[in-house]
Structures are given as C-alpha cells and as structure tokens.
Chain A
Amino acid sequence: MFFQQMINGLTIGSTYALVAIGFSMVFGVLELTNFANGSFYILGAYLTLTFMNAMRGNFYVAFAISIIGTGLVGALMDRLTLRPMRKKGAPGIAAVIATIGFSEIINNFALVFFGTETKPFPNIFKVGKIRLGGAIITYLQIIIFVVALVLMLVLSLMVYKTKVGKAMRATAQNTSAARLMGINVNHIITLTFFIGTLLAAVAGTLVAMYVESVSVGLASAISMKTFAAAVLGGVGSLPGAMVGGILLGLVETIVAGYISSGYRDAIAFIILILVLIFRPAGLFGQKTQAKV
C-alpha cells in the first residue's frame, strides 16, 4: 500500500516538477509570478485531445502540435502584453494582474469551446503493467516519469551548458547588464515563456491521460500546486523546482491516501504556508537582503 502510493506520488510529482520548472524559469528572468500556468496546463491537454480527434487518434502528432501551440500562446502572452509593459516600466504587480487576466481568458475560452463538464481523455498507453512487490506500476506511469526526467535533463543541459542557457542565466541575474553585453533580453524572455508554457502543456497532457480526463476546474489548483512546489524548492532554482514538485506529489498522495482525499488540494496550501513561515527561501533558495 505504502509502496504503491510512493509510486503514484512519484508519477504525479514528476509532472508538478515539470510545471514548477517552467514557473521558476519565468520567475528567474522576470521576477514575475505567472498565474496563467494552470491555464496553459489544461490548454495543452485540451489541444492534444482536439487534434487527436481531428487526426483519428494520431497521438504523437497531436501532442507535438499541442505543446508547440500552447508554447506559442505563452510566448504571445509575453509579446503582446508583458513586453509592452516592461517597455513602459509598469510596476511588477501590473504584470501579475495581466497573467491573471490571461488565465481567466484561457479558462473561459476553454469553457466555451470544450464545455463545462469533465471530458474523457483516452489512455493510449494502456498496454501493460509491472508487478513489483505487491505494487503495480503501469507503463504510463513509467512513461510519465521517464518523459519528465528526460525533459528535466535536457533543460538542465540547455540552461547550464548552451549559449542560450547562459544568456538566460545572465538575464536572470542582471537584466540591464545582460542587455549591455549584447544579449537580446526580450527574445530570451519570450523564449523562456515559450519553454515554460510548453512544459505546462506536456504535464497537462500526461496527467490528463493518467487520470483519463480533463476539466477547466483543474487550472487554479494546478497553479497553486506549482507555486507550492516552486516555493518549497526555492523560487528561481531549477533543481529546487524538481525536488519541490516530486516532494509535493509524494506528500499529497500519501496524505490523501491515509487521511482524506477531499482535502488533497489543501496539502499544497499547507506546505506553502509552512515553507513561507519557516523557510521562505525554500530548500535550495538563497536569502536575499533588501537594498536601500
């Protein structure tokens, strides 16, 4: 029982980690709390579903179109609203409100086009499972975990080993200095949005398949879990987001299994509050000092 729940928790946790990484990357370059992450997550799932239906079940093509499409919506959000605001020097809180507005728009578009009811989502990897000491691991669980792991690896390589990654880190550290060094900061930020949004779409699709359904109502809960995972790991830290996401998934599954499933979503909130009170910098973050 416990082992089974560890496996379930690990599966769901690795998807939280994906979204949290995207969130953390955006936070890193812009110091912006993106409230639209949960919306991109469901948008990814819905688009995959739509394209799959349109292409008679070709999941891979549908998936590719969906995540790139969602990524573009994220990039567009930056290009159309956030960039003009940066140019005007609008206060940070205005950008936060813009992401809330965007999230509201996406959620309601989804409601109009996909309906208010929960939509069934086909699990195309329902091909087998492994028994491991009393616990059952489905192929899909393995796929989710592997995909998440591979994406994290690729991203880490990208951020820490490539030129683009270097530009991202430079932008995160000091935007104006990065600009002086000839980095096209606006492009880097838009690209970061694209990647962050794409990750949310991947996670959204995988989870939709895992629970075999998708609904608009998930969006705000996912946003909240993303925050909790990122804050737990230390906002802005990529390894932190990974560990935070997986830890959150584990704790959530175990608590839901032993206490009450109705309050599953409340766990993220409790973790969030506890971390913010006792260790606001998170597990991997650094303490910052106010500048005067």
Chain B
Amino acid sequence: MKTLLKAEHITQRFGGLVAVSDVSMEVGEHQIVGIIGPNGAGKTTFFNIITGLYTPTEGRVLFNDRDITGLKPYKVTDLGLARTFQNIRLFGDMTALENTMVGMHTRTGTTVLDAIFRTKKHHEEEKQCEEKAKEYLHQTGLYEYRYWLAKSLPYGLQRRLEIARAMASRPQILLLDEPAAGMNEQETADLMGFIEELQGMGYTITLIEHDMKLVMNVCEDIYVLDHGELIAHGAPSSIQSNPRVIEAYLGKEA
C-alpha cells in the first residue's frame, strides 16, 4: 500500500501551551484512518497543521513524498487535500450548488477577463462546472436541495454539503473534522454508510470523531491523542482493549 500522507514528529506550541507534542502519523491510499481523543486533545490543531492553517513548531508533513509543511491552505488544497470543519463553515448565503462550485475552484481556470468579456472558455467551463457540481450533489444525496441556500439546509445536510464541497476539489485525501457531531443515531448510521461509499469511490479518508461506534466500525487504523500526545495507535480491536485509551478516553465516557 502506498503512503499518501505522512506527519513526522509534529509539535505545536502556542506561547507556553503545548497543543500537539511529537505526534507522527501515516495514511495509506484508500484507507480510512481515525483520530480520536477527549476534548482538547489537540485533534483539530493537528488537522489545522496538516491543512496549512498553522505552521508546526517542529516536525514536517509529507504528502505524496512532498514536503508541504507551512504551505498556505489554498496551496495544500490545490495539491489534493480537502477538509471539512468541526463547526460547519459553509457559504451560508450561497446555494448548495454554488457552494459545491466554489469547491471546484482549484480545478477550474477562467479568469476575470473571460468573465467580463463572456468568452467561449467562460461559457464552456461554467457549464461543465455546474454539471460536475450537480454530480457531486447527486452522490451526496443533495441534488434536490441544489437551489437551497446553505444556511437554510437542515443540520445533517449541511454536514453533507461540506463533504460535497470538499469532494469537488477532487482531493486524494478527505479530512473530515467530526462529521457526525450533532447528528442523531439514524443520521450517524447514514453517514457511516456514506463514508464507506466514499471509500468505494476511491477516496482516502482521515477523520476526527467522538462517536465511538462510527470510528470503530469504519476506521481501519486509529490514532488516539490525549493532551497533545499520541497515546495509542492500531486497529480498532487493539484500541478498544488498550488500557491507556480506556483510562484516558473510554473510561471517562462510560
């Protein structure tokens, strides 16, 4: 299996606070990898480092063997990593279709001059872009909502739209930050099925999640963070029986 993403000895300090401390991680092609840990364990910070929002104090991030540490987020997306956000960040006053079309930004190239003069390129690309975006909305079950403003969609669908928007950038890896947060049991079950479908479509997925059932069911490989440190790594079965994990995380949950 080919390694797509590799984080090596990542440490992130904010002033005196150590948010992430010496964490390494690997994601192989077509894998679903989970990152779990209690609140404040540094999971989102770790995501932010991978996607370029923060530059780590130490360590480096490799994507397809290319060093992407400290690259700007838009560059990272261009290279093939796309993410969703824990607290949904959609473009609320734009339709679902337009949100998805924005996702295709890096894969389209009409310039402002094409737009002003309505060139052939503009018309062709707009059409293609819309068709493609509709496809993503079909795949995520949002097609009938394509003309809804993102802010007026129900919560669960907003999460889906975030995924559709991320898919539209044609990433090699999808990074999902708590995709099941705020969902009820049924919605979570649907989401689980959907994530597996995504894997079937050829996506590689890394996700942060609180919902144990989801993580244990869909992830092949799990990393456990606590207080910024990696305390366990392995297959779901080994994580479930790991005493440190139970103490740090599962024990508190129960």
Residue ranges of A at the interface with B (Cβ–Cβ < 8 Å): 289-290, 292
Q: How far is the CA of A290 from the CA of B86 in the complex (A)?
A: 15
**Does residue B48 face the partner (Cβ distance < 8 Å to A)?**
yes
B44, A292: Cβ atoms under 8 Å?
A: yes
B14, A289: Cβ atoms under 8 Å?
A: yes
**Does residue B249 face the partner (Cβ distance < 8 Å to A)?**
no
Interface SS of chain A: helix, strand, loop or mixed?
A: loop
B17 → chain A closest CB, angstroms: 10
**Does residue B91 face the partner (Cβ distance < 8 Å to A)?**
no
Q: How far is the CA of A292 from the CA of B19 in the complex (A)?
A: 14
**Does residue B85 face the partner (Cβ distance < 8 Å to A)?**
yes
A292, B85: Cβ atoms under 8 Å?
A: yes
**Does residue B250 face the partner (Cβ distance < 8 Å to A)?**
no
**CB-CB nearest 8 A-B residue pairs:** A292-B48, A289-B14, A292-B53, A292-B85, A292-B44, A290-B53, A289-B54, A292-B86
Q: How far is the CA of A290 from the CA of B44 in the complex (A)?
A: 13
Interface SS of chain B: helix, strand, loop or mixed?
A: loop
A230 → chain B closest CB, angstroms: 23
B178 → chain A closest CB, angstroms: 12
B43 → chain A closest CB, angstroms: 12
8 contacts between A and B (CB under 8 A): A289-B14, A289-B54, A290-B53, A292-B44, A292-B48, A292-B53, A292-B85, A292-B86
Specify which chain A residues have a CB less than 8 angstroms from the CB of B86 in the assembled complex: 292
Q: How far is the CA of A225 from the CA of B159 in the complex (A)?
A: 46
Specify which chain B residues have a CB less than 8 angstroms from the CB of A289 in the assembled complex: 14, 54
Residue of A nearest to B177 (CB): A292
Residue of A nearest to B89 (CB): A292
B73 → chain A closest CB, angstroms: 10
Q: How far is the CA of A290 from the CA of B14 in the complex (A)?
A: 12
Residue of A nearest to B87 (CB): A292
Residue-by-residue, is B90-121 near A (CB-CB < 8 Å gives 1, otherwise 0)? Answer: 00000000000000000000000000000000
Residue-by-residue, is B43-85 near A (CB-CB < 8 Å gives 1, otherwise 0)? Answer: 0100010000110000000000000000000000000000001
Q: How far is the CA of A289 from the CA of B85 in the complex (A)?
A: 17
Specify which chain A residues have a CB less than 8 angstroms from the CB of B14 in the assembled complex: 289
Residue of B nearest to A286 (CB): B15
Q: How far is the CA of A292 from the CA of B85 in the complex (A)?
A: 8
Q: How far is the CA of A43 from the CA of B86 in the complex (A)?
A: 48
Extra contacts besides A292-B44, A292-B48, A292-B86 (5): CB < 8 Å: A289-B14, A289-B54, A290-B53, A292-B53, A292-B85
Residue of B nearest to A290 (CB): B53
A9 → chain B closest CB, angstroms: 35
Specify which chain B residues have a CB less than 8 angstroms from the CB of A292 in the assembled complex: 44, 48, 53, 85-86
Specify which chain B residues have a CB less than 8 angstroms from the CB of A290 in the assembled complex: 53
- List CB contacts (< 8 Å) of B1-56 with chain A: 14, 44, 48, 53-54
Residue of A nearest to B86 (CB): A292
Q: How far is the CA of A289 from the CA of B53 in the complex (A)?
A: 10
Specify which chain A residues have a CB less than 8 angstroms from the CB of B85 in the assembled complex: 292
Q: How far is the CA of A292 from the CA of B14 in the complex (A)?
A: 14
Q: How far is the CA of A108 from the CA of B2 in the complex (A)?
A: 70
A253 → chain B closest CB, angstroms: 37
Q: How far is the CA of A133 from the CA of B220 in the complex (A)?
A: 82
A234 → chain B closest CB, angstroms: 16
A245 → chain B closest CB, angstroms: 28
Q: How far is the CA of A289 from the CA of B86 in the complex (A)?
A: 17
Specify which chain A residues have a CB less than 8 angstroms from the CB of B48 in the assembled complex: 292
B19 → chain A closest CB, angstroms: 10
Q: How far is the CA of A292 from the CA of B48 in the complex (A)?
A: 8
Q: How far is the CA of A290 from the CA of B85 in the complex (A)?
A: 14
Residue of A nearest to B19 (CB): A289
Q: How far is the CA of A289 from the CA of B48 in the complex (A)?
A: 12
Residue of A nearest to B54 (CB): A289
Q: How far is the CA of A242 from the CA of B48 in the complex (A)?
A: 37
A173 → chain B closest CB, angstroms: 15
